[in-house]
């Protein structure tokens, strides 16, 4: 709002108009009915998904990207406030899923599985950062001064003492919790190999440590030296530079020749090697491997080897409502130096540069980026 308490008539947003192309555009302030709200964006996080969506858009329409969004409720209809238990002035985190709210997945808090949110199968799917700005409401992403919130937006109140920039880490942290604890079954006295010290991998270090894992090993490349050190600060017991060491031999040394209970593959652009290492690094029987599945094809996949070891293969995809709540509780505890994951921040006009920085195109070692439409105000 302005100092007089009134919202401006126009909203400035960074719009992806094509592959690797952004334009600054103004949109009329949307009408906010009784069952809707308006979010003033404080921070929109940028992650590897944004890099992919920027390079290869999923739709050929203008899109306001930004799916990791934190802000202040600037205007709220009475019905929307009753549904969400929120008021104007509250700081909230908004999940990027906009569910139907009546299917079995939504009722279980698994909005990521709702067909209404699945852009792969539903051309009219609703997700913040994915949906065309031509749709009603227009402001469907966080790379904007404001964002439109319909009645079925999925919201979480940010605890007191958690800044907007720290809350901007909720998405990678909730993914880490979901993938490590729920998909990977990491728990007390479990041994874990986490491949890739990016924001997801480091978040899984925290989740595994909090869950009571007895051994946490993180692997990366030589250029990841700083991130591997951060992994140790977050709770990793050992780190491996796969370009300088025999990673499998080191895992076996650390586990007394047994192998690990769980492998969490968070690599990107590393080909099939991490999966092959994961299969070999798992214990003799009934290990679990969680992977993002970045490779579209996997020639000569060692299926026999995997089934002989009775390995469970799980998918790393999104997060549940409960995982977001746990992530917010983790941030509020300040037990781990998670603020060190937020390495860079940029203004709204620097969206193109920010995405390219995270992609490693600018020479900046950006781990997680906070986009601030209003600067540091």
List the CATH number of the domain containing 25: 3.90.180.10
Query: Does one domain contain both 269 and 212?
Result: yes
Q: Give the pairing of strands 21-28 and 342-347.
A: unpaired
Would 255 be classed as within a structural domain?
A: yes
Query: Does one domain contain both 49 and 164?
Result: yes
Ranges of the chain with pLDDT below 70: 1-6, 377
Would 5 be classed as within a structural domain?
A: no
Full-model pTM: 0.94
Query: Does one domain contain both 122 and 196?
Result: no
pLDDT at site 1: 43
Query: Does one domain contain both 49 and 108?
Result: yes
Query: Does one domain contain both 158 and 180?
Result: no
Cα separation values, 179 from 52, 111, 327, Å? 20, 16, 13
Query: Does one domain contain both 264 and 361?
Result: no
CATH number of the structural domain spanning residue 209: 3.40.50.720
pLDDT at site 376: 79
Would 321 be classed as within a structural domain?
A: no
Query: Does one domain contain both 68 and 102?
Result: yes
Per the CB < 8 A criterion, the answer to whether 69 and 94 are in contact is yes
Query: Does one domain contain both 33 and 103?
Result: yes
In the chain, what is the greatest distance between 2 CA atoms, to the nearest angstrom?
69
198-201 contact pairs (CB < 8 A, 24+)? 198/48, 198/227, 198/266, 198/268, 198/367, 199/47, 199/48, 199/169, 199/172, 199/341, 199/367, 199/368, 200/47, 200/48, 200/172, 200/175, 200/176, 200/266, 200/292, 200/316, 201/176, 201/231, 201/264, 201/266
Closest listed residue to residue 284, CA positions, set 310, 253, 255: 310
pLDDT at site 4: 38
Cα-based angle 41, 330, 320 (whole degrees, multiple of 5): 70
Would 328 be classed as within a structural domain?
A: no
Would 187 be classed as within a structural domain?
A: yes
How many structural domains does the chain have?
2
**Cα–Cα distance measured from residue 306 to residue 374, given in angstroms and rounded to the nearest whole number:** 50
Domain encompassing residue 247: 171-315
Query: Does one domain contain both 163 and 192?
Result: no
Would 326 be classed as within a structural domain?
A: no
Query: Does one domain contain both 277 and 353?
Result: no
Query: Does one domain contain both 103 and 133?
Result: yes
If phi > 0 it is left, if psi is from -120 to 50 it is alpha, else beta; for residue 102 that is alpha
Query: Does one domain contain both 137 and 241?
Result: no
């Amino acid at each position: 709002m302005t100092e007089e308490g009134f919202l401006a008539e126009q909203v400035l947003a960074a719009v992806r108009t094509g592959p690797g192309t952004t334009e600054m555009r103004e949109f009329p302030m949307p009408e906010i009915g009784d069952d809707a709200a308006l979010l003033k964006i404080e921070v929109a996080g940028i992650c590897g998904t944004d890099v992919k969506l920027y390079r290869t858009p999923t739709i050929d329409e203008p899109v306001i990207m930004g799916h990791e969004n934190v802000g202040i409720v600037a205007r709220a209809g009475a019905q929307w406030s009753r549904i969400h238990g929120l008021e104007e002035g509250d700081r909230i985190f908004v999940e990027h899923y906009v569910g139907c709210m009546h299917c079995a997945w939504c009722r279980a808090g698994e909005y990521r599985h709702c067909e209404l949110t699945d852009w792969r199968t539903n051309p009219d799917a609703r997700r913040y950062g994915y949906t065309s700005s031509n749709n009603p409401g227009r402001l469907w992403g966080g790379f904007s001064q404001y964002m439109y919130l319909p009645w079925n937006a999925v919201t979480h109140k940010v605890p007191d003492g958690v800044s907007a920039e720290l809350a901007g880490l909720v998405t990678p942290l909730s993914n880490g919790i979901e993938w490590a604890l729920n998909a990977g079954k990491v728990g007390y006295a479990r041994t874990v190999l986490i491949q890739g010290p990016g924001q997801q991998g480091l978040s899984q270090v925290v989740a595994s440590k909090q869950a009571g894992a007895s051994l946490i090993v993180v692997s990366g490349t030589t250029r990841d030296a700083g991130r591997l050190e951060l992994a140790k600060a977050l709770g990793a017991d050992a780190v491996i530079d796969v370009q300088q060491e025999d990673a499998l031999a080191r895992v076996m040394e650390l586990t007394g020749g047994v192998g690990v209970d769980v492998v969490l593959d968070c690599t990107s652009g590393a080909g099939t090697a991490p999966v092959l290492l994961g299969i070999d690094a798992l214990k003799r029987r009934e290990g679990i491997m969680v992977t993002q599945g970045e490779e579209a094809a996997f020639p000569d996949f060692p299926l026999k080897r995997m089934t002989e070891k009775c390995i469970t293969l799980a998918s790393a995809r999104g997060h549940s409502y409960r995982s977001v709540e746990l992530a917010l509780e983790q941030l509020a505890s300040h037990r781990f130096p998670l603020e060190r994951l937020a390495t860079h921040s940029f203004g709204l006009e620097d969206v193109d540069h920010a995405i390219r920085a995270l992609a490693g195109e600018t020479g900046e070692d950006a781990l997680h980026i906070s986009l601030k439409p209003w600067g540091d105000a």
